[in-house]
Amino acid sequence: LLMIVTIDGVAASGKSSVSSGVAQALGVPYVSSGLLYRAATLLGLEADLDLRGAPDLLNLLGAHPVRLEPLAGGNRVWQGERDLTDDLHSTRVDRGVSVVAALPEVREWVDAQLRALPEPFVAEGRDMGTNVFPHAPHKFYLTASARIRAERRARERPEDVPAIEADLQRRDELDTVQSAPAPDALVIDTGPLDLQGVIDTILTRLH
């Protein structure tokens, strides 16, 4: 099984925890593509750029390259010596990232970095199975209701469940274009499953 496994899905569907678990079981790294979109957003916000303006953002990213380190236990994102990882999951970045991810130039910047990574790995995001790795032999797509996802995420954010649910629904809408499941992906409703249940569902399909 020395190949690429893609795990896509809506915001807060558990993609990164599931991908990490599957990758560890397979003994390969996982790659969290959303972190690169988040890094572009964080750096744009810190530089006070208009997040809708691709040229300035791309200049910034070109001048100070960002690197994704795909470890099995958790990905890290570096800009030179600075570890950006712990700053990528703020509410500010959550709210800006869909605007940045809608820019074709930024999508190309992310896709090029992903396609340069050595196989095998588990790739997690929105369009791993459709756009970035359409020939991957194993594709999965995770869903769950907005309420269930908000309840899960409320354990990691300061806001309350209704506020998080509203933000998730807004992000789902903005992400619709790049979030369709691949026709050959297995769609898994994670609502009734716990983390290990989702991981096991995927591993069963791989054996």
Provide, rounded to whole angstroms, the least separation between the CB of residue 17 and ligand C5P: 11
Q: Which is nearer to ligand C5P, 43 or 81 (CB)?
A: 43
Q: Give the span between the Cα atoms of 135 and 129, in whole angstroms.
A: 8
Provide, rounded to whole angstroms, the least separation between the CB of residue 138 and ligand C5P: 17
Provide, rounded to whole angstroms, the least separation between the CB of residue 71 and ligand C5P: 16
Q: In angstroms, what CA-CA distances link 174 with 94, 160, 188?
A: 12, 21, 22
Q: Note whether 170 and 178 are within 8 A (CB).
A: no
Provide, rounded to whole angstroms, the least separation between the CB of residue 133 and ligand C5P: 11
Distance of CA 204 to the CA centre of its chain: 23
Q: Which is nearer to ligand C5P, 33 or 190 (CB)?
A: 33
Q: Note whether 16 and 33 are within 8 A (CB).
A: no
Q: Which is nearer to ligand C5P, 21 or 34 (CB)?
A: 34
Per CB under 6 A, residues contacting ligand C5P are: 11, 15, 33-34, 37-38, 97-98, 101, 125-128, 171, 175, 178
Strand order in the sheet with 82-83: 66-69, 76-79, 82-83
In sequence order, what are the residues at sequence separation of 6 or more whose Cβ sits closer than 8 angstroms to the Cβ of residue 132?
Answer: 6, 33, 111, 114, 115, 123, 125
- Would you call 76 helix, strand, or coil by DSSP? strand
Q: Which is nearer to ligand C5P, 21 or 125 (CB)?
A: 125
Distance of CA 51 to the CA centre of its chain: 19
Q: Which is nearer to ligand C5P, 27 or 183 (CB)?
A: 183
Provide, rounded to whole angstroms, the least separation between the CB of residue 207 and ligand C5P: 26
- Would you call 153 helix, strand, or coil by DSSP? helix
